[in-house]
Amino acid sequence: MRKRLHISPAVLIAALLASGPASAQAPQAAGGAAKVPTSREMNLLCWQEFSELVPQKIRTVLVPTGSLEPHGVIPNGTDNLAPEAMARDISARVDALIAPTLNYGMTDSMKAFPGAVSISAEAYGMVVDDILRNLAGNGFKNIIVLNGHGGNTAVLNAAATRVANRERVRVLVVNWWTLADDITKSVFKQNGGHAGNNETAYVQAVVPGHVHPERYNADMASPNPPAGAYYAVPVTSTIGLYEKGQGYPTFDPAQAREYFRKVNDRVAELILDTIAKWDRAGIYK
């Protein structure tokens, strides 16, 4: 029997708000009142408006980074869709603009799967370095990388270190699924996994129509190897459980909604706290 995914209207509305253009949520103020940006997305701003905003009014930019790789029964672009929706949801709260998403990353161990694209560490490091350096050159003081893919982390951290020291800016790299580890355990009462309960729920809140429980079978999941125990390329399963027996996708719309909100609250809190501490310390003010 084919299982159907039931989505409540509230989840659909939340998803539409999360994935809609930021301009729809930021109407222009009338008369002499302080102007609200016509959009928080750099893709949608003209250069004249950008020059009025940065750095005089806005000093922070969110940079979503991800990958194109298999994810169980959720989209290959999950690692892009998640941080992009996160950026749209929190940008006003942290008073930031949103840079275009870097939709390609390093996924050599999964590139054998249909639709995957992987780029080399060397190329990725150079591209990230250039993007961060250019954002600093445009006047941003706080560059917040919202990373959606664990395979990128080491190269992102290295680029962040180089650019921060060379350009005298502050760079924060956030791996949301690790930051939200305790939220995963409290919402699902279990640990998570790559394309597991946590990532599936998050992306279900963003693009519910592109999650496919009818294609799912628990045999598609494998526990991640204990450190150093073994290594398989290509990976044997695209759902990688952090702990054996835990982290299978639940496809529950209420959990998806709750998880999306709690993860975003946590990421926004981290960003605000980090910037406040940089400010207090007087670093690169």
Nearer to Zn ion, 61 or 82 (CB): 82
Nearer to Zn ion, 39 or 78 (CB): 78
Residues forming contacts to Zn ion in the complex (CB under 5 A) are 78-79
Nearer to Zn ion, 78 or 147 (CB): 78
> For residue 114, what is the DSSP state?
T
Shortest Cβ 53–Zn ion spacing (Å): 32
Nearer to Zn ion, 88 or 194 (CB): 194
Shortest Cβ 80–Zn ion spacing (Å): 9
Shortest Cβ 68–Zn ion spacing (Å): 10
Shortest Cβ 194–Zn ion spacing (Å): 6
Shortest Cβ 66–Zn ion spacing (Å): 8
Sheet of strand 221-223: strand arrangement? 193-194, 239-241, 221-223
Shortest Cβ 78–Zn ion spacing (Å): 5
Which residue is closest to Zn ion by CB? 79
* C-beta separation of 176 from 148 below 8 A: yes
* C-beta separation of 141 from 61 below 8 A: no
Nearer to Zn ion, 41 or 79 (CB): 79
Nearer to Zn ion, 78 or 197 (CB): 78
User: Is the alpha carbon torsion for 61, 67, 72, 75 positive or negative?
Assistant: positive
Angstrom distance (rounded) from CA 158 to CA 162: 6
Nearer to Zn ion, 37 or 75 (CB): 75
List CB contacts of 9: < 8 A, sequence separation 6 or more.
none
Residue 81 DSSP SS3 = helix
Q: Quick one: which of 84, 23, 58, 41 has its CA closest to 138?
A: 58
Shortest Cβ 193–Zn ion spacing (Å): 10
Angstrom distance (rounded) from CA 160 to CA 166: 10
Residue 203 DSSP SS3 = helix
Q: Where are the beta strands (DSSP E) in the chain?
A: 60-65, 96-98, 142-147, 170-175, 193-194, 221-223, 239-241
User: Is the alpha carbon torsion for 168, 63, 270, 188 positive or negative?
Assistant: negative
Angstrom distance (rounded) from CA 156 to CA 166: 15
Shortest Cβ 149–Zn ion spacing (Å): 6
Nearer to Zn ion, 39 or 67 (CB): 67
> CA 32, 135, 56 angle in degrees (round to 5)?
25
Q: Quick one: which of 11, 10, 1, 3 has its CA closest to 202?
A: 11
